[in-house]
Structure 1
């Protein structure tokens, strides 16, 4: 159902109030009706007892014959009151029935046992409810007679009708007033949401830093504001990183492209020998290979950030993987007069290709920055629910300001500036992305004269 939230909530509130008012009104109406009926029944029984006392007094027989209307006066002179007195023989001694109603005559009940249960209901010829009760007495203290008193409650029916109308009117006005108040309260209560919407409308690329003030927000909206502020912070961070990445990417691409363009323009400025053209092509191939490597690395990082990328994990022998890496990089290590050592046992659950790529990046980085004649070590250990694969070299200390940024894209520490032509600055960021895919992390642990890069895999 589309439309105004205020309208929907107000209508729902009106419905709730209307149903509640109807239920309460019905309960009050029934309670009122029952109480009036109870009082009328007791009043009718009281009139019967008055007639019984009159008939039992001396001179009652003369009163019946000479002043029959006196018994109507006993019934408070009401026109809708009926009185009938009959002898044991069935002879009607008195019948006060101005409207000419035909009503049932229940059997008389002895005076000591009279109760509300003896009052019988009937309906008048005009359709009004009526009550009747019968008793017995001794006329003048001697002659037994039967007494029947009845009453038609036309006035009571009209009173009940008016009461029902008042309940309906009050309930309707109450529901309408409740709906109006609900709409006003909702309009006031939704002001924080309008403020949040207005703040969200101001968000633009590069304008994510402004946080929503949560001091004036109701408690129920605090989780929403907290989530929105966290989202804005993530957007700001992501936008900043993306802007930085774009700038770094342009810078990294500009250098090889300028090299290719400059070398080619210089070569084409004058006729060259075949040997010079071969040297130019070889230099261009080197730059193109670097560009190709950067593109592959960036594509890998882009895919690694997608949530649907799931590595194919298998149980891999740590010792075998270390031996494989050492054999592959043996030649590169010998060129720099380095010794490769590896130690470690056990298994790790990981994607084979991704693990080898992460180890290759760390190992090539360690060999490139190790002091000539030193040892590069690969080691494995298990600590506190983690399996640690470490690559350690002896090299220049990494600066304190560089440590937090080593795994960022295109970042190069000061010690790596001399390797700028051979490094894309993406190797360690790829390592970090691979470990994130495995639910682990990558760390750097500088020590006295050494640098150790560690891959932490969750223990199986």
Structure 2
């Protein structure tokens, strides 16, 4: 239970976005705090350097006054008090030979003695050092006139309080970063909870979608613009599911009806036959009739298996370049006997090449030609034509016969659909032939069209000129 809860937290969008937001805020606050800290320290050091240079200039001016030499020798304490000014100021006067004339260093601090930087030293001449208590310090040496000669003035300062102040400042920055992160976490959680409210409202709407309520759609208008593509895609998926569910329901009903008819025929005939004693001839007739019904069922099952397999993604086509007119002549020869029985003439015209799977192409042509031969007017001509047009190869089968209403054209390729009683299953048709043809064309990436003109009906297969081999579904 605990592991599932932890996994749920890791998968939480709110938690993940909040964590990233907190991380961004913390890094930004830390970066800003570091920048401000460095800027503050740099400004303090700049001010310290200016004050140290000012202290050196002050000593130089005091030493240059008349009588300064006598004061240094006779009243060094007076001069020491005048020059120190601040407790953290260290001043040392060196004679040209290096002898110490004055050393203002009440704490006895030891610090380095840099070389003299002349009469007007700048900030670049300031040296850094650390006191015995690890406090930062700065020192500079310059030249000054004392009496008639030249002396070296060394001015140093120790910033003992600086380290403690900067430590407190760093602590304040760390505290500010922590508080910023906590506030960011709270605000991010509140903002995300409010911002993800449209997503939470989608869940109850999506829960209402069931097999019986596939017409239900999610509200697009009330959703924010970022969610609209997702909702529109979801609604489109629902529309496809609804269409597929309706087709499946219709197909199941049609399938039950198609299976029920031959099974009922066999059952009734067998019951009638068994009701009384029959001759061997009558039993043979019954068996022959049942075999016809069983053959029809076998054809129907085979057709449905083909359609089911064609709808998968693992169908690999063995495409070849074939003669379109040659394939039409093969189909014409195969159905010539059936055509002669009805007094029909099969006319093959055209030319060109087609890239297709030979077996599937022949099955599609067989379905179209058999359909045309069954429904063509007796004594008429069934025209099989091949033509290259607009980079594609078109193969058409046309016949004259009972006209099909325009309202039925779009449904001719549905499974088990029959436009009228004349196209019933009395002739052994399973009602799946045109559906198989459309499935074959889908596998080839082509199309099938149908057009009518008075009593003429023409089916046209359109094959791409150079369809790439591969899988289709």
Q: Could you tell me how far apart the structure 1 residues matched to 2:54 and 2:288 are? A: 127
Q: Could you tell me how far apart the structure 1 residues matched to 2:100 and 2:331 are? A: 128
Q: What is aligned with 2:137?
A: 130
- Which structure 1 residue ranges, 5 or more long, are not aligned? none
CA deviation profile, 1:236-289 (whole Å, cap 9, x unmatched): 111110011000001111111111111111111111122222221221111111
Larger displacement relative to structure 2 (61-70 or 262-271): 61-70
In the alignment, structure 1 residue 120 sits paired with structure 2 residue 127: yes
The match for 1:378 among 384, 390, 401 is 384
Give the conservation status (yes or no) of the 8 Å contact 1:72–1:78. Answer: no
Give the conservation status (yes or no) of the 8 Å contact 2:413–2:435. Answer: yes
Q: Could you tell me how far apart the structure 1 residues matched to 2:241 and 2:417 are? A: 21
Give the conservation status (yes or no) of the 8 Å contact 1:122–1:129. Answer: yes
Q: What is aligned with 1:295?
A: 301
SS in 2 for 1:355: helix
Q: What is aligned with 2:402?
A: 396
Deviation (angstroms), 1:117:
1.4
Q: What is aligned with 1:286?
A: 292
SS in 2 for 1:105: coil
Q: Could you tell me how far apart the structure 1 residues matched to 2:260 and 2:399 are? A: 32
The match for 1:341 among 336, 342, 347 is 347
Q: What is aligned with 2:157?
A: 151
Q: What is aligned with 1:52?
A: 60
Deviation (angstroms), 1:57:
1.2
CA deviation profile, 1:161-192 (whole Å, cap 9, x unmatched): 12211111111111221122222222223223
Q: What is aligned with 2:263?
A: 257
Superposition pairs for residues 436-455 of structure 1, below 5 Å? 436-455=442-461
Give the conservation status (yes or no) of the 8 Å contact 1:72–1:81. Answer: no
Structure 1 residues 72, 388: closer, same or farther in 2, change over 3 A?
Answer: farther
Deviation (angstroms), 1:417:
4.1
Q: Could you tell me how far apart the structure 2 residues matched to 1:273 and 1:69 are? A: 154
Q: Could you tell me how far apart the structure 1 residues matched to 2:126 and 2:15 are? A: 53
SS in 2 for 1:372: coil
Q: Could you tell me how far apart the structure 1 residues matched to 2:253 and 2:141 are? A: 108
Q: What is aligned with 1:204?
A: 210
Structure 1 residues 185, 420: closer, same or farther in 2, change over 3 A?
Answer: farther
Superposition pairs for residues 338-377 of structure 1, below 5 Å? 338-377=344-383
The match for 2:75 among 46, 54, 66 is 66
Q: Could you tell me how far apart the structure 1 residues matched to 2:97 and 2:398 are? A: 129
The number of equivalent residue pairs is 457
In the alignment, structure 1 residue 13 sits paired with structure 2 residue 21: yes
Q: Could you tell me how far apart the structure 2 residues matched to 1:458 and 1:172 are? A: 66
Give the conservation status (yes or no) of the 8 Å contact 1:206–1:239. Answer: no
The match for 1:330 among 336, 339, 346 is 336
Q: Could you tell me how far apart the structure 2 residues matched to 1:327 and 1:343 are? A: 14
Q: What is aligned with 2:251?
A: 245
Q: What is aligned with 1:25?
A: 33
Q: Could you tell me how far apart the structure 1 residues matched to 2:112 and 2:424 are? A: 121
In the alignment, structure 1 residue 78 sits paired with structure 2 residue 83: no
Structure 1 residues 58, 330: closer, same or farther in 2, change over 3 A?
Answer: same
Q: Could you tell me how far apart the structure 2 residues matched to 1:138 and 1:80 are? A: 25
The match for 1:407 among 413, 434, 446 is 413
Give the conservation status (yes or no) of the 8 Å contact 1:361–1:428. Answer: yes
The match for 1:172 among 178, 192, 197 is 178
Structure 1 residues 319, 304: closer, same or farther in 2, change over 3 A?
Answer: same
Q: Could you tell me how far apart the structure 1 residues matched to 2:197 and 2:316 are? A: 44
Deviation (angstroms), 1:450:
0.8
Larger displacement relative to structure 2 (64-73 or 255-264): 64-73
CA deviation profile, 1:291-326 (whole Å, cap 9, x unmatched): 111111111111111111122111221222111111
Q: Could you tell me how far apart the structure 2 residues matched to 1:198 and 1:128 are? A: 67
SS in 2 for 1:146: strand
Deviation (angstroms), 1:67:
6.2
CA deviation profile, 1:375-423 (whole Å, cap 9, x unmatched): 1110011121221111111112211111110000000011634554522
CA deviation profile, 1:52-82 (whole Å, cap 9, x unmatched): 111111232344343635554544x321111
Larger displacement relative to structure 2 (182-191 or 45-54): 182-191
SS in 1 for 2:410: helix
In the alignment, structure 1 residue 184 sits paired with structure 2 residue 193: no
Taking structure 1 as the reference length, what is the TM-score of the superposition?
Answer: 0.94
SS in 2 for 1:226: helix
In the alignment, structure 1 residue 95 sits paired with structure 2 residue 98: no
- Which structure 2 residue ranges, 5 or more long, are not aligned? 1-6, 467-473
Q: Could you tell me how far apart the structure 2 residues matched to 1:416 and 1:211 are? A: 41
Give the conservation status (yes or no) of the 8 Å contact 2:125–2:140. Answer: yes
SS in 1 for 2:212: coil
Q: Could you tell me how far apart the structure 1 residues matched to 2:349 and 2:28 are? A: 78
Q: Could you tell me how far apart the structure 2 residues matched to 1:212 and 1:385 are? A: 43
Q: Could you tell me how far apart the structure 2 residues matched to 1:437 and 1:413 are? A: 26
